[in-house]
Amino acid sequence: MRLIWAYVLLFCLAGKERKMRNLTEIRWHGRGGQGAKTAALLLADVAFQAGMHVQGFPEYGPERMGAPITAYDRISAKPIRVHSNIYEPDFVAVVDDTLLHSVDVTAGLKEDGGILINTEKSAEEIVPMLKGYKGKIYLLDAHKVCMATLGKYFPNTPMLAAMVKISGVMDTEAFLKDMEGSLQHKFARKPEVLEGNMKALRLALEEVKECQ
């Protein structure tokens, strides 16, 4: 009997394993200065810590504060050789909802994936702007999260946490542990910044909501 349960457990784990994508491709849309590129590079960093092969890279134009920018992540169990931009992402993150008017954020986005939008607006206002996208839609009010935890608006920190959660590229507990380690290193002389960032990450994991 015990053996049967062990098999059942093994089967469930294998099933969970199968659900993980071999290659996860993520596209970030933001405005220059909001940290979308940093978020992409941080995501590559934590995925590397979790033992994955990673690629995190920005697409550069005439960058300036406020201009739309794009950044990308590839996260894979196998070495990554391709060096092109991502046209059919599994997930998209939109760090600034004003981009929904000017950028085709769901272009090529897979329907079995999802889009994460940082907004203070309601689902009723946002969903009609996504051109009938059939996949999952997640909303996060990063401003609210930031003000409650950091007292300043750095949307990339909560967006990073929310992306880890919705994409399932790694376990959220392992993610929090890795982030604590790297933030401790980064803000060795500013422990108060570490605490605020950790709170922002945790709150974002709770606050991100699936609305479709």
The answer to whether residues 77 and 53 touch, using CB atoms and an 8 Å cutoff, is yes
For other proteins, give the closer residue by CB, 48 or 136: 48
Residue 144's identity, in one-letter code, is K
Residues in binding contact with other proteins, number by CB under 8 A:
19
Of the candidates 32, 48, 144, 174, which one interacts with other proteins according to CB under 8 A?
48
Q: Which residues pair with 116 in a beta bridge?
A: 93, 138
Under the criterion CB under 8 A, does residue 7 sit at the interface with other proteins?
no
Beta-strand runs (E) in the chain: 23-31, 53-59, 68-76, 91-94, 114-118, 136-140, 209-210
Q: Can you read off the two tokens belonging to residue 122?
A: 């309601």
Under the criterion CB under 8 A, does residue 157 sit at the interface with other proteins?
no
Q: How far is the CB of 156 from other proteins (least distance, A)?
A: 15
Q: By three-state DSSP, how is residue 211 classified?
A: coil
Of the candidates 9, 14, 77, 82, which one interacts with other proteins according to CB under 8 A?
82
Q: How far is the CB of 60 from other proteins (least distance, A)?
A: 6
Of the candidates 2, 18, 83, 152, which one interacts with other proteins according to CB under 8 A?
83
Burial 31-68 (b: 16+ CB within 10 A, else e): bbebbbbbbbbbbbbbbebbebbbbbbbeeeeeeeeeb
Q: How far is the CB of 158 from other proteins (least distance, A)?
A: 21
Under the criterion CB under 8 A, does residue 60 sit at the interface with other proteins?
yes
Q: How far is the CB of 36 from other proteins (least distance, A)?
A: 14
Q: How far is the CB of 167 from other proteins (least distance, A)?
A: 17
Question: Which residue from 67, 50, 62, 143 is spatially nearest to 103, judged by alpha carbons?
Answer: 67
Report the chain's C-alpha Rg in angstroms: 18
Under the criterion CB under 8 A, does residue 85 sit at the interface with other proteins?
yes
Classify residue 174 by burial, with Cβ atoms within 10 Å: 0-12, 13-18, 19+: middle
Under the criterion CB under 8 A, does residue 174 sit at the interface with other proteins?
no
Of the candidates 7, 11, 87, 153, which one interacts with other proteins according to CB under 8 A?
87
Which residues contribute to the site for other proteins (CB under 8 A)? 41, 44-45, 48, 53-58, 60, 79-85, 87
